[in-house]
Amino acid sequence: MPTIPRSGGRPNRPIDDATPPAGDALSGRSGPSSASAVDDLFDGGPPLKLQARIGLVQPGRFHGAARALLFVAITWLPLLILAAIEGNLRGREGGIHFLLDLGSVGRYVVAGPLMIAGEAVCIVMLGKIVRRLVELCETEGVDSSSFLDVLASIRRWRDAPMAEVVVVLAAFGASFAVIRAAPPSQLPVWHGAGADRASLSLAGWWYAVVSLPLLLMLILGWAWRLVLWIRLLFAAARLRLQLVAVHPDKSGGLGFFGRSVRAFALFGAALGAIVAGTVANEIVHRGAPLAEFKYMVLALVAGTVIVFTGPLLILTPMLHAAWRRGAHEYDELATAFGLAFERAWFAQRKPRDQSLLEREDFSAATDLYQVVDRVHDMRLIPVDYKSVAVLAGATLLPFIPVVIIALPFDVMLDTLVGLLR
């Protein structure tokens, strides 16, 4: 039977410890026989694999800063050059010219690099979660043969050639659908050629054929990573783990899964940047009030939190079973202790004196009932409020410049003076 990877005698290693234990292997499985067999489980997918084919990334090296700069150089800089050649940088009446197009800046100068930087963070954090789960299985002696099969299957899904084909076709298909569906009057000036802008300019063609498809490939790559993560959660939910109802993480010992929400924070910020750029264009060029977009922003934040927190509900049945069992057992213990406590102190009406302060009965009762309270406070979703706040805050962060743009200078000045008083 396949065995769980060994962890160098440190099964309770903190999840933040990035140093992999020696001697790990997915025994009986094809692929790497080192710790990377678990740690790099999410290090791949269509966009990264396509970049590896052309030499942009290498195994074990991420090159995040270089890739982010290259993304800007391929998607945004040619648009700037072509718009300048065609005279669409600034100066013509009507529409949004390239230098004033805050939407393109939000998409290609901010969102794209954020998604590339976020890949490294997400890969590392999800890899640590998988490693901790593997160590937990080993510690509890869980039969993990089917779980190891799932890990191998996730790796095959990640590297499937068909996933590359689907992502590329979907990106180009969506790009042309967006361009064809939008009326020329609603597109920025630099998209169109001629007086009526009925056809695409050179910059418009580059946008449709290169810039937008590359951005969509990054987004679809993140979506594929989320699918792989959900598959892992379903496999974890089938493991017969012994959860501890009084665990300090308030999640039965599965609190480390909540770190996945923070792993997607930079992607949330990238989505925020895409929407913030569009909103900024509406405010600057159409004079729309900021309040007009409040529900859009709230929907974006709520949707982002739901999409990346919702999959953790897969673990809720495990946690509910542990909570129900723990609440029953600890409630019985608390009742028995309480009855014994009351019989000892109230049944015989003992005289009260200063020796009461020296008895340990009250301390024991306090400690026990604190433990029982912890059982009843157990979370049924293994995520803490701070992680959710990090994801929501990251999604909202790109809207700070939009608020600054939308507020009149005198209002901002009065607000700052009021804060300093």
The beta strand positions in 10-83, using DSSP E, are: none
| DSSP summary character for residue 199 | E
Give me the amino acid identity at 320.
H
**Phi then psi for 115, rounded to 5 degrees?**
-65, -40
Q: Which of 331, 15, 26 is nearest to 156 (CA)?
A: 26
Provide the whole-model pTM: 0.81
Distance CA 365, CA 375 (A): 16
Q: Which residue is associated with the tokens 């004196």?
A: 353
Question: Where exactly are the structural domains of the chain?
Answer: 36-310+383-415, 321-376
Please give the structure tokens belonging to residue 113: 């690099």
Residues in the chain: 421
Identify the residue whose tokens are 């590339």.
116
Provide block-wise average pLDDT over 10 residues at a time, the chain (421 residues). 39 40 38 53 74 58 78 93 82 67 93 93 91 84 78 87 88 88 75 69 90 93 93 91 86 91 96 94 86 93 96 94 86 81 67 55 74 84 93 96 79 59 61
Q: What is the pLDDT of residues 222-249, one digit of tens each?
A: 999 999 999 999 999 988 888 888 888 8
